[in-house]
């Protein structure tokens, strides 16, 4: 019994010793492989090793259900986030597949989407240059910083009809700068294409259809099928089928008018031609083909031509009237079909009427030299007869000045002198008749006394 107790005690002691050895071995092994970690941090901030055995604050913290990053975020894979409050930096070369409902408080319609058609729901401001390679609304083309083959620099503006699959749009010819087409162009009755074109540098077409500005600085304001192709600054205001082909020539409007002379003008009307330099044609079928000629035709009896350089021709089949004061009370009138002017001589249009001493007029007229002469501006062979204005003025004091004789005054002097002569002749006749009667009486007495 005693031996069994001793054996049991020895077994218990051995077990205790074995546990102690094992425990000490484990503790020693753990202590040999472990490092001491130390440091401090801030609540709700994710720690990060600042060294091999030191922990500190990272740039990432947690606030409620959000993670806050106080620096930049780099990732080699995709990032998915329901919301973002902050800013991106860098060139964005690796940023793709961004799908956001707002940028800077603006929705997607406030930004252009490359490669797609865009519709903006708000005003846009461009602070810089916009290079427009196409058109706006298929009706406006802007071509800037152009240089032609002559070295001239300008820009082109092409507005109006831009064309479609069936009809050509407005256009500016190649190697042309400074051109403007403000609008117009298109097709009439869906079958007749009439685009506006500019084929001359610095040319302008304001609108209309089928118009062409073909000369340098040429201008067609509007109308249909008009052409301004003079070398420099020819102008057509409007109308139809008008052409301004002279240098600085002008057609105001109308139908089928032509200004082909240098500085020639057709203000309007129908089928007029100003072909001479500095010529003017107006009305209907007026032809001013000589330099400096002026022709106006009322359209009756066919066309009317000038009769030479620097002449004035006009046809008014109903007559001419020229007025020299406000209203229609003073002037001259050439009746229809007549070749003589009629001066307005109504008694009720005159004032300060005074009687005339015909005999005195006749005596003064007898002192006025009457000569034949020619104007210095005419040939010596073209002779005239009459008094000098200075002598006429001195003798009678009539007219506006001493350099002109009014026909009404010369005719009045002539009529007064004729009346005075008539009265003198009547007196002479009366005296002769009395003498004749006396002689007849004496003769009768002599015969009866025989």
Asked if the model's pLDDT at residue 207 lies above 90, the reply is yes
| Average of per-residue pLDDT values in the chain | 85
Tens of pLDDT, residue by residue over 382-416, are 999 999 999 999 999 999 999 999 999 999 999 99
Please report the pLDDT score of residue 344 as a whole number: 84
- Which CATH architecture best describes the domain 354-450? Orthogonal Bundle (1.10)
Q: Which of 88-92, 171-175, 285-289, 386-390 has the lowest mean pLDDT?
A: 88-92
Q: Which residue has the higher pLDDT, 140 or 368?
A: 368
- Report the alpha-carbon distance of residue 409 to residue 395 in Å, rounded: 12
- Report the alpha-carbon distance of residue 2 to residue 162 in Å, rounded: 126
Q: How confident is the model at residue 97 (pLDDT cuts 50, 70, 90)?
A: low
- Report the alpha-carbon distance of residue 77 to residue 71 in Å, rounded: 18
Q: What is the DSSP string of 169-186?
A: --EE-TT--S-EE-S---
Q: How confident is the model at residue 173 (pLDDT cuts 50, 70, 90)?
A: very high
- Find tokens 């020299």 and name the residue: 324
- Report the alpha-carbon distance of residue 300 to residue 186 in Å, rounded: 37
Q: Which residue has the higher pLDDT, 118 or 2?
A: 118
What class is the 141-321 domain? mainly beta
In the beta sheet, which residues pair with residue 187? Answer: 193
Please state the rounded mean pLDDT for residues 331-353.
Answer: 90
Q: How confident is the model at residue 85 (pLDDT cuts 50, 70, 90)?
A: low
The 8-class DSSP code of residue 108 comes to G
- Find tokens 């010793």 and name the residue: 17
> Are 213 and 220 contacting, i.e. CB atoms less than 8 angstroms apart?
yes
Residue 223: exposure state from Cβ atoms within 10 A (0-12, 13-18, ≥19) = buried
Residue 33: exposure state from Cβ atoms within 10 A (0-12, 13-18, ≥19) = exposed
Domain ranges of the chain: 141-321, 354-450
Q: How many residues does the chain have?
A: 450
Which three-class secondary structure state does DSSP give residue 235? strand
Please report the pLDDT score of residue 180 as a whole number: 96
Question: Comparing 141-321 with 354-450, is the CATH topology the same?
Answer: no
Q: Which residues of 224-239 are buried (b: 16+ CB within 10 A; e: fewer)?
A: bbbbbbbbebbbbbbb
> Are 356 and 421 contacting, i.e. CB atoms less than 8 angstroms apart?
no
> Are 218 and 206 contacting, i.e. CB atoms less than 8 angstroms apart?
no
Tens of pLDDT, residue by residue over 257-294, are 999 999 999 999 999 999 999 999 999 999 999 999 99
Helices 389-396 and 358-367, axial angle in degrees (round to 10): 150
Torsional class of 275: left (φ above 0), alpha (ψ -120 to 50), beta (otherwise): alpha
Q: What is the DSSP string of 348-389?
A: GG--------HHHHHHHHHHS--EEE--TTS-TT--EEE--H
> Are 148 and 201 contacting, i.e. CB atoms less than 8 angstroms apart?
yes
Please report the pLDDT score of residue 25 as a whole number: 52
E strand or H helix at 69: strand 66-69
E strand or H helix at 329: none
Closest to 84 (Cα-Cα) out of 94, 92, 96, 73: 73
Q: Which of 93-107, 347-361, 398-412 has the lowest mean pLDDT?
A: 93-107
Rounded to the nearest 5°, which phi and psi values hold at 301?
70, 20
Q: How confident is the model at residue 62 (pLDDT cuts 50, 70, 90)?
A: confident
Tokens encoding 370: 């009457």
Please report the pLDDT score of residue 68 as a whole number: 77
Q: Which residue has the higher pLDDT, 75 or 302?
A: 302
Tokens encoding 233: 């600054």
Tens of pLDDT, residue by residue over 109-143, are 666 777 777 777 777 787 876 666 666 666 688 88
Please state the rounded mean pLDDT for residues 74-78.
Answer: 66
């Amino acid at each position: 019994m005693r031996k069994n107790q001793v054996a049991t005690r020895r077994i218990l002691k051995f077990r205790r010793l074995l546990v102690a050895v094992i425990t000490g071995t484990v503790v020693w092994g753990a202590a040999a492989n472990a490092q001491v970690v130390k440091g401090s941090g801030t609540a709700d901030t994710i720690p990060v090793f600042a060294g091999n055995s030191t922990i500190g604050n990272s740039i990432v913290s947690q606030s409620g259900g959000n993670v806050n990053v106080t620096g930049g975020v780099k990732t080699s894979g995709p990032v998915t986030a329901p919301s973002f409050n902050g800013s991106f930096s860098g060139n964005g070369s690796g940023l793709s597949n961004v799908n956001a409902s707002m940028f800077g408080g603006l929705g997607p319609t406030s930004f252009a989407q490359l490669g797609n058609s865009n519709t903006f729901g708000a005003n846009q401001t461009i602070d810089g240059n916009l290079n427009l390679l196409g058109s706006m609304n298929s009706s406006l083309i802007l071509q800037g910083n152009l240089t032609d083959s002559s070295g001239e620099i300008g820009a082109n503006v092409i507005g109006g009809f831009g064309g479609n699959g069936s009809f050509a749009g407005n256009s500016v010819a190649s190697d042309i700068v400074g051109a403007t087409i403000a609008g117009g162009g298109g097709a009439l009755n869906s079958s007749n294409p009439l685009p506006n074109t500019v084929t001359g540098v610095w040319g302008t077409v304001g609108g209309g259809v089928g118009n062409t500005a073909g000369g340098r600085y040429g201008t067609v304001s509007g109308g249909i099928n008009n052409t301004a192709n003079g070398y420099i600054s020819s102008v057509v205001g409007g109308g139809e089928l008008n052409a301004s082909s002279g240098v600085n020539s002008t057609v105001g409007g109308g139908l089928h008018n032509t200004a082909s002379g240098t500085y020639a003008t057709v203000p309007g009307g129908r089928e007029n031609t100003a072909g001479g330099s500095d010529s003017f044609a107006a009305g209907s079928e007026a032809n001013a083909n000589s330099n400096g000629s002026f022709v106006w035709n009322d359209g009756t009896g066919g066309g009317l031509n000038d009769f030479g350089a620097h002449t004035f021709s006009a046809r008014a089949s109903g007559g001419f009237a020229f007025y020299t004061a406000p209203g229609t009370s003073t002037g001259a009138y050439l009746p229809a079909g007549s070749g003589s002017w009629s001066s307005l001589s109504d008694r009720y249009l005159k004032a300060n009427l005074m009687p005339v001493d015909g005999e005195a007029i006749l005596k003064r007229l007898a002192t006025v030299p009457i000569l034949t002469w020619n104007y210095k501006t005419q040939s010596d062979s073209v002779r005239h007869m009459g008094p000098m204005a200075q002598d006429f003025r001195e003798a009678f004091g009539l007219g506006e000045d001493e350099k002109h004789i009014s026909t009404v005054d010369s005719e009045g002097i002539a009529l007064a002198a004729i009346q005075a002569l008539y009265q003198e002749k009547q007196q002479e006749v009366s005296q002769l008749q009395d003498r004749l009667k006396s002689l007849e009486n004496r003769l009768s007495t002599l015969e009866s006394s025989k």
